[in-house]
Chain A
Amino acid sequence: MADSKSSQQIYDEFVKGVWKENPVFVQVLGMCPMLAVTNTAINALAMGGATLFVLLGSSVLVSLLRRFIPKQVRISTYILIIATFVTIVDFSLNAMAPVIHKELGAFIALIVVNCLILGRQEAFASRQPVHLAAADALGMGGGFTIALFCLGATREVLGFGELFGVPLFGEHFEPWVIMIMPPGGFIMLGLILLLLNWAQQRRGSRAATQAAGEQVSAHDALPIAPAHDSGHIEEVV
């Protein structure tokens, strides 16, 4: 019983990071690395993986040490822990995948000041047991990676006409060069946020009409129609 409850909790923390509180699309955190390296899908995945590793490592360590870190110096301690893991990633990537390391350049080192990571330590890992902190880190890191991949893949498809270096269109495709340049990053993220806003508003207005419809029909004492209606709407959403 207790086991299934805790695994449910772990699952909840994971889903929260991946979707409900997606660090990029919902909380708009960690934008600096995400815009700079997402001109191709493979760079985006590498950056996401590196961030996920640093987040997981430092969350677990901070959670283990949470009783020993004095309150007054906690931020500096977190930053030192994060910097240690980033140094590990930086040196390992340089050894294992020098091409990607060169492409990402200083942005690997800049993971240290990614506000997403410090934010999770302060808001979550420093107060929760290890298994929950790990689930939260995996969820947030996964959500961050998914968001990076969406942005990187879109920009690569539009800007180079390729995905993972494989050409998608015929030779008559004119690459939309601006998409792989800095302005493209800002504009593309703006458009994705706009799309999400639109989806949310639609869902909000639907929920409102649904609630209004239920009220009206309850008043008219027609219980069958609204039940069917709401089920249908949930399916569509």
Chain B
Amino acid sequence: MQDMLWIFISAMLINNFVLSYFLGLCPFFGVSNRLSTSLRLGVAVTLVMIVTSICASLLNTFVLPYAPYLQLISFIIVIASTVQFAEMIIKRFSPALFRALGIFLPLITTNCAILGLALFQTNRDYGFLQGLTFAVGAGAGFTLAIVLMASLRQEMRLSNIPSIVQGTAISMILAGLLSLAFMGFAGMFSAL
């Protein structure tokens, strides 16, 4: 149980996918303009991560021992079909959410956080439950990071910024400061 807690906290805070592994930066900078959209995207990414983690566990147990060179290709196919499937389900059961997510839903396929999750899970030999915890933690961490970033950028729109740092430059520096803050969590847990 302690093991699970450790995996969760570590994936969510200490080794946050966005701020310390640099995964999923495209949506992190692209979709963090509005708080509501970024929260929805975070939830969608978390769901896709959970399904991907389950599929990756199954693949790792039943297929990949016999054909290791298929690892990348099979993971990519799983992710693409999961995203397609999620799209169909959301469209069927909640058309409002489907419209709100718009183009960001199919773009989850090329989000490196998802493929990164499958690869890390494989590299670290996580079992089924450990993988699931890892996925939930990573998704929560992604959501946390993108929501924080969206809030900061919303505040920033009201403030007076020199024209030369506007755009990507200030977002990068903000992300750097956030990442600096998240590094503090490492100290918190080494004390435990």
User: Which of A43-51, A126-134, A186-194 lies at the binding interface?
Assistant: A186-194
Given known A-B contacts A80-B76, A190-B170, A185 and B22 have beta carbons under 8 A apart: yes
Is A213 among interface residues, defined by CB-CB distance under 8 A? no
Q: Tell whether, in the assembled complex, residue B165 and residue A84 are in contact, meaning their CB atoms are under 8 Å apart.
A: no
Q: In the assembled complex, which residues on chain A have CB atoms less than 8 Å from the CB atom of B163?
A: 201
Q: Is residue A184 within 8 Å, beta carbon to beta carbon, of the partner chain?
A: yes
Q: How many B residues touch A, CB cutoff 8 Å?
A: 42
Expressed in whole angstroms, the Cα–Cα distance for A105 and B119 within the complex equals 10
* Assembled-state Cα–Cα distance A114/B116 (Å): 12
- Main DSSP-derived SS at the A contact region: helix
Q: Is the CB of B23 within 8 A of A32?
A: yes
Are A113 and B110 interface neighbours, CB within 8 A? yes
Cβ of A197 and Cβ of B167 under 8 Å apart? yes
From B115, B165, B169, B177, A112 is in contact (CB under 8 Å) with B115
Within 8 A of B (CB), among A159-196: 178, 181-187, 189-191, 193-194
Q: With the chains together, A111 CA to B170 CA distance in Å?
A: 26
Decide yes or no whether B21 CB sits under 8 A from chain A: yes
26 A-B contacts (beta carbon < 8 Å): A31-B22, A31-B29, A32-B24, A32-B112, A79-B80, A79-B109, A80-B76, A86-B72, A87-B71, A91-B69, A109-B71, A110-B119, A113-B110, A113-B115, A114-B112, A183-B176, A183-B177, A183-B180, A186-B173, A186-B175, A186-B179, A190-B169, A190-B173, A191-B169, A194-B169, A201-B163
Which 7 A-B residue pairings sit nearest by Cβ, starting from the closest?
A190-B172, A186-B176, A187-B176, A190-B173, A193-B169, A183-B179, A183-B180
12 new A-B contacts, CB < 8 A, other than A106-B119, A186-B179, A197-B165, are A31-B25, A36-B21, A105-B123, A110-B119, A178-B180, A182-B20, A183-B176, A185-B22, A185-B176, A189-B172, A190-B170, A190-B172
Q: Which residues of A are interface residues toward B (Cβ below 8 A)? A: 28, 31-33, 35-36, 76, 79-80, 83-84, 86-87, 90-91, 105-106, 109-110, 112-115, 118, 178, 181-187, 189-191, 193-194, 197-198, 201
